[in-house]
Structure 1
Amino acid sequence: MIQPYKYKAYNAKGRAVRGVVSAANEADLYNQLKSSGMELVSCSPVQKESALGGLSIMRPKIKTRDLIQFFMHLEQLQAAGVPMLDSLADVRDSADNQTLKDIMTDVHRSVFDGASLSESLGNYPKVFTSLYVSLIKAGEDTGDLEKSYTQLIKYLKWVDDMQTKIKKATRYPTILLVVVILTIVVMMGVVVPQIVGFIKNLGQELPFMTTSLMATSEFFQEYWWAVLAAPIVLFITYKTIRKGSEGFAYTMDSWFLRMPIAGVLIRKISIARYSQTFGSLFSSGIDVINCLKSAKKTVTNLALIEALETVEARVQAGAPLSQAFNSSGEFPTLVIRMIKIGEESGNLTPVLMQVSEFYTKDVDEAVQGLITMIEPMLTALLGIMILWIAAGVFGPIYASFEHINI
C-alpha cells in the first residue's frame, strides 16, 4: 500500500534534506531517495491529511515569487546544458520553500522513472496549473524548453506585478476602513454608554440625534455578537448558495459586472489576465483552440466565461480571431482592430503582447480611479460619524444651559 513518508536524508553535497515522499514501504523509500542521489537517515509514515497532497494549513504556501525563482533556476541550468535530472536535483536542493522542495523530490523521482517533466508537474495542479503544464509540454514537443521557461517567467512576473500593484493601491483604503469600523465600535460600545447616564439625568426632552445615538449604542451593547457574526454568516451563506446553484452564481457574477465602478475593474482585470495568458501560450507555438481553452481557465466570472466560450465556438467554426473576439462583446474596438491587423500581417504574436500591455495599463488606471473615489468616501463617513456623536452628546448639554437661571 502506497503511503506518504516523512524523511530526513543527505544529498550528494552533504546537505540535510527533509521532505515527504509516497512509497510502498521503507525499502521503497530508500530506493527512491537513492535514485535521486540522497542517502536516507530516518523516516516515519505520516497521515494522508498531513501529506504533500493534503489540505494541511501548516505547510508553507508556494508563492508566485517562489515559482519565478524556480523557473529562472531551470532556465539558467537549461541554457548551461545541464541534464534534466541534475537540474531538478539542483533546484530541489536549493529551494528555500519546504513544500516546493518536497514536490521537487517527487518530480525528480517521477522523471527518473521515465515520465516527462510536464507529466510530473501535472501531478500537482494546485501549484503548477494547466497553463504552466501546457507551456512546458510545448517546450518538450518543440525541443526548446528554455523558451518555455522564459515565457513562464515573463507571465509570472506580470502576475506578481499585477498582484503587487493591487495590494499597494488597496492598502490605504483598507487601513482607513478598519479605522472607521474600530471608531464606530469603540464609540458605540464604550464611549457613548458612559455618557448616556449623564444625559438621561438632565431631565429634559432629548432631540432625535441623541435618541438615535442612544438606541444605536444600546443595540451594539445588546447584540454585539450579532454585529460581529453577521458578516461571517452572510459570507458563508453566500458561498454555500453559490456553490450549490450555478444559476445564482451566474446571476451574481452578471450583477457584479454591472456595478458602476467595481464592475468595470472586475472586467478589465479578468480580460487582462485572459489576454496575457493567451498571448503567452500562442507565442509558445500552442494552437489557437488550446490557447483559448487554457486562457479561459484564468477567468472566474461566469458571465465573462460564457462570453469567452462564444469566442472559442466561433473560432472552432472557422471564424477569424478578430471576429470571434468582436462577437463576445467584451473587447473594445481598438483591441479588435489590433488583432485584425495582426491576422492580416501574419504577425499576431507581438500584437497579442500589445493587447496585454493595453489592458495592464487600463487596469492600473481603473484601480487608481477606484482608490481615488474610495478614500474621500471613507473619510467623509468617518467625519459624519464623529459629527453625529458630537451632536448627539453635546446637543442636550448645551440645551440644558438655557434652563439654568443665573
Structure 2
Amino acid sequence: MARKKDAPNKQQYPMFYWQGMDSQGLEQEGELQALNINFVKAQLRKQGITPGKIRKKKPALFGLGEKKITTREIALFARLLSTMIQAGIPLVQSLNVVAEGTENAALQKIIISIRNEVADGNMLSAGLRRHPEYFDQLFCNLVEAGEKSGALEAMLNRVALYKEKTDRIKAKVKKALYYPIAVLSIGFAVMLILLLKVVPQFEALFNSFNAELPIMTQIVIGISEFIQYWWWSILGLLILIPFLLKKSYKNSEQVAYRIDALTLRMPIIGLIIKKSSIARFARTLSTSFTAGMPLVESMTSSAGASGNRVYTRAIFTARDSIATGQQLHFALKTTRIFPTMVTLMVSIGEESGSLDRMLDKVAGFYEEEVDDAVEAMTTLLEPIVVAVLGFLVGGLVLAMYLPIFKMGSLF
C-alpha cells in the first residue's frame, strides 16, 4: 500500500497580497497565506470577496526589514482582540481588523496565518499553537479554556494584563542591569582612546626629557604600550568571551544554571533578580490557577516564567512534591529559596480557598519591591559610577601631568 504523502505545513506557505470587491461593492485589500493563487481565490470567495489583483509577496532578504515581535505587541494583540470580540464582532473579522491595524509586518503575517486557521474551522488556540515562539503554553491554554467556557474575551483580557505586568517587571530588571554596564562601557571606551591616542603623545614628550618618570606615569605608559601591542588580542577576547558565554548559556543547562546562581549572589542586582523571579512565578501561577488549570500544570507554566534556572529547578521540584500529595506551601518551603512571607501567604490561601487572590497579592508586593529596589539602586549607583570613572580618568590624566609638574618645580 502506497504511503500517503504528508501535507505541507501551513507556516511554509507563501504570502499573497490581494485586492478585490466585497458583497457591497467596496474595494478591499489584504494579505493571505496559501499554497497558491487558486487557493487564495477560493478563500476570498468563501469570505464573500470577488478576487481581483493577486500577487505573491517576496520574502525579505535574510529576514531584514521585519521588526522583532515584542511581548508588548503580543499583549496589545490580545487586548485588541478581546475588545473586538466583546463588541460582538465575529472572530475572523476581528482578526482581520487587528491584522490591518498592526504596524509590525512579522506580527501581521502571524495574525493572518491564525485568521486563516480560524476561517478553516479550527479553534483560535490551535492557530496560536502553530507559533510557540510567540504564544507560549500558558497563553494557548488560557485561550483554549476561554473558548471552551464561552468567555474568550475575558481570558484574552486576562492574558493581556498578565503579559503587560510580566513585561514591565522584565523591563525593570533590564534597566537595573543595563544602566551600570552602559555607563562603565562608555567610561572604559574613553580610557582606551586616551591610552591609545593621548598617552603616546605624552610618552614622546617625556622621552625628550631624559629624566626618570614617576612610578604612576611609568605604570600608565606600560599599560598604554601593552594595549597598543596587543590591541587585536584584547579586542578579540572582548568579542569572543561574551559570545561564548551567551552560546554556552543557551546550549548548556549546567552552564546556564551556574550563571543564574552566580547572578543571585551578586550584591544589589542579585536581590532584584530574586524578587522579580518570585513576582513572575506568583503572577503566572495566579493567572493560570484562576483560569481553572490544574495546579500541577500551572506549576509547569510558572517554572518556565520565573526567568531564573535556580527558581525554575526549585519550582519543578515543588511541582513533583505536589504531584505526590503535598500541599503547595509545604512544597515551596522545602525548596528553601522562597521567603517565609511567600509560604505563609500561600498557606493562608490554601486554607481559605483563595489561593489565586493570595498569589496575586504576593505578585503585586514583589513587583513593587522590584520597582523600589531598581530606583534605589539607580540612585545609589549614579554617584558610585561617577566616582569610579572620575578616579580612573582623573588618575590617568594626573599620571600624564606629574612629570610636567615635576619639571616645572625645578625651574
Q: TM-score, normalised by structure 2?
A: 0.88
* Counterpart for residue 3 of structure 2: none
SS in 1 for 2:343: helix
* Counterpart for residue 27 of structure 2: 14
SS in 2 for 1:353: helix
Q: Among residues 4, 13, 17, which one is paired with 1:4 in the alignment?
A: 13
The alpha carbon displacement at 1:127 in A equals 1.4
Matched, 1:28 2:39: yes
The alpha carbon displacement at 1:18 in A equals 4.1
Q: What's the Cα RMSD here? A: 2.5
Residues paired across the two proteins, number? 397
Paired residue type of 2:30:
V
Write out per-residue CA displacement over residues 364-383 of structure 1, whole angstroms, 9 at most, x where no aligned residue: 23323433443233212211
Which residues in structure 2 correspond to 1:61-100 (within 5 Å)?
61-100=68-107
Q: Judge conservation of contact 2:17–2:57 (CA < 8 Å) in 1.
A: no
Rate the CA distance shift 1:4–1:209 in 2: closer, same or farther, 3 A: same
Deviates more, 1:395-404 or 1:301-310: 395-404
Q: Among residues 184, 187, 205, which one is paired with 1:180 in the alignment?
A: 187
Paired residue type of 1:183:
V
Rate the CA distance shift 1:298–1:33 in 2: closer, same or farther, 3 A: farther
Matched, 1:155 2:151: no
The alpha carbon displacement at 1:403 in A equals 3.8
The alpha carbon displacement at 1:15 in A equals 4.6
The alpha carbon displacement at 1:245 in A equals 3.9
Rate the CA distance shift 1:324–1:72 in 2: closer, same or farther, 3 A: same
Deviates more, 1:381-390 or 1:144-153: 381-390
Write out per-residue CA displacement over residues 237-269 of structure 1, whole angstroms, 9 at most, x where no aligned residue: 223344454333333332232233332222222
- Aligned partners of 2:382, 2:154: CA distance in 1, in Å? 43
Paired residue type of 1:359:
Y
Paired residue type of 1:134:
N
The alpha carbon displacement at 1:68 in A equals 2.7
Rate the CA distance shift 1:174–1:247 in 2: closer, same or farther, 3 A: closer
Q: Judge conservation of contact 2:303–2:313 (CA < 8 Å) in 1.
A: no
Q: Judge conservation of contact 2:303–2:311 (CA < 8 Å) in 1.
A: no
Matched, 1:273 2:247: no
- Aligned partners of 1:148, 1:99: CA distance in 2, in Å? 24
Rate the CA distance shift 1:135–1:355 in 2: closer, same or farther, 3 A: same
Paired residue type of 2:56:
S
- Aligned partners of 2:90, 2:45: CA distance in 1, in Å? 18
SS in 1 for 2:277: helix
- Any unmatched runs of 5+ in structure 2? 1-6
Paired residue type of 2:135:
F
Deviates more, 1:169-178 or 1:62-71: 169-178
Q: TM-score, normalised by structure 1?
A: 0.89
Q: Judge conservation of contact 1:278–1:291 (CA < 8 Å) in 2.
A: yes
The alpha carbon displacement at 1:174 in A equals 4.9
Matched, 1:382 2:393: no
- Aligned partners of 2:374, 2:289: CA distance in 1, in Å? 28
Matched, 1:194 2:201: yes
The alpha carbon displacement at 1:34 in A equals 4.1
* Counterpart for residue 128 of structure 1: 135
Rate the CA distance shift 1:44–1:183 in 2: closer, same or farther, 3 A: same
The alpha carbon displacement at 1:36 in A equals 4.9
The alpha carbon displacement at 1:160 in A equals 3.4
- Aligned partners of 1:317, 1:155: CA distance in 2, in Å? 29
Q: Among residues 204, 210, 232, which one is paired with 2:211 in the alignment?
A: 204
After TM superposition, which residue ranges in structure 1, 4 or more long, deviate above 4 angstroms?
166-172
Rate the CA distance shift 1:357–1:258 in 2: closer, same or farther, 3 A: same
- Any unmatched runs of 5+ in structure 1? none
- Aligned partners of 2:252, 2:185: CA distance in 1, in Å? 33
Q: Judge conservation of contact 1:8–1:40 (CA < 8 Å) in 2.
A: no
The alpha carbon displacement at 1:210 in A equals 0.8
Q: Judge conservation of contact 2:142–2:159 (CA < 8 Å) in 1.
A: yes
